[in-house]
Amino acid sequence: MTTSNSANLNQQISATADSRSEWSQAWRRFRANRIAVGGLVVIVLLVLMAIFAPLLSPYDPIDEIFRGMRGGSPTLAHPFGYDHLGRDLLSRVIFGTRVALIVGLLATGIAVTLGVVIGAVAGYLGSWEDTLISRVIDTLMAFPIIALLVVLAAVLGPSLVTTVVVIGVTGWARFARVVRADIMSLKATDFVTAARAVGVRDWRIIWRHLLPNVMGPIIVLATLGIGGIIILESALSFLGLGIRPPNPSWGGTLADGRAFILRFPHIAFFPGLMIVITVLAFNFLGDGLRDALDPRERD
């Protein structure tokens, strides 16, 4: 009992020491990557913009309608111009950051959680559970995701909650696939056999010994996925199945702009630009994290 306890302690101590140096090494590699740090800075700014949207936006995004200014072009007081109803476009775009980030982060959170749990179960248990889960993963990966989102959003009724849940619940497959494959190969390693020989229970092996080893790739995949999810959200809002008007979202404003694209092209221009900037920032961050966390994959 004492020996196993001290062995356990030793193992824990060396594990913390190792992981600390590994993470700090990764952080050093990440800091050296200027593009990735730039992406991180932009994301921090976007988060601040979302939090302080009421303070930053010069006008009310919904209620303040300027008469006679429908589709008005940008001016000094309204740098992004007016939308199709005469509301200040800059304020609507600033508030739209909230929707983009909430959906991007929450939906990714749901997808990662589901993916890790389902993938770990499939990879660890093997047998018929694995076969069943693998078929479901294949199905989700094979299907044009936007078609699924459109159907589900139409069924549940479009709203912010629907958008988050629907994107999260349909997006776990790629995480599950990576976790499953990694867990399957890790399961055969000596430290898992050792843990099992000592009598460690299955869920503890998964939680303490396997998942920490899979976290690197998952963090990278999640970060790279956020951009895609923000595009999905705006596509859904663009098709009229995401965030409901009058609430400001980038995709929704783009859809407003679409109807007047040849008369007031600026309405569609600015929200799209914000989407591009945000997606680029998350992609740069993700690329940087990949290089930092897994130097072997560097090209």
> Which residues of the shown chain bind other proteins in the complex (CB under 8 A)?
135-136, 138-139, 141-147, 150-152, 154-155, 157, 227, 231, 234-235, 238-240, 254, 257-258, 261-262, 265, 268-269, 272, 275-276, 279-280, 283, 299
Kindly tell me which of 205 and 279 has the beta carbon lying closer to other proteins: 279
d(CA 256, CA 267): 7
Kindly tell me which of 219 and 224 has the beta carbon lying closer to other proteins: 224
Q: Give yes or no for a contact between 254 and 84, defined as CB atoms under 8 angstroms apart.
A: no
Kindly tell me which of 56 and 165 has the beta carbon lying closer to other proteins: 165
At residue 252, the 3 state secondary structure works out as helix
Instruction: State the minimum distance, in angstroms, from the CB of residue 112 to other proteins.
Output: 20
Instruction: State the minimum distance, in angstroms, from the CB of residue 148 to other proteins.
Output: 9
Residue 261, phi then psi, degrees to nearest 5: -60, -35
Q: How far is CA 41 from CA 18, 36, 37, 275, in A?
A: 28, 9, 6, 16
Which residue's structure tokens are 């309204």? 78
Kindly tell me which of 211 and 249 has the beta carbon lying closer to other proteins: 249
d(CA 141, CA 181): 15
Q: How far is CA 71 from CA 96, 248, 275, in A?
A: 18, 16, 21
Instruction: State the minimum distance, in angstroms, from the CB of residue 79 to other proteins.
Output: 19
Kindly tell me which of 157 and 295 has the beta carbon lying closer to other proteins: 157
Instruction: State the minimum distance, in angstroms, from the CB of residue 100 to other proteins.
Output: 11
Instruction: State the minimum distance, in angstroms, from the CB of residue 173 to other proteins.
Output: 11
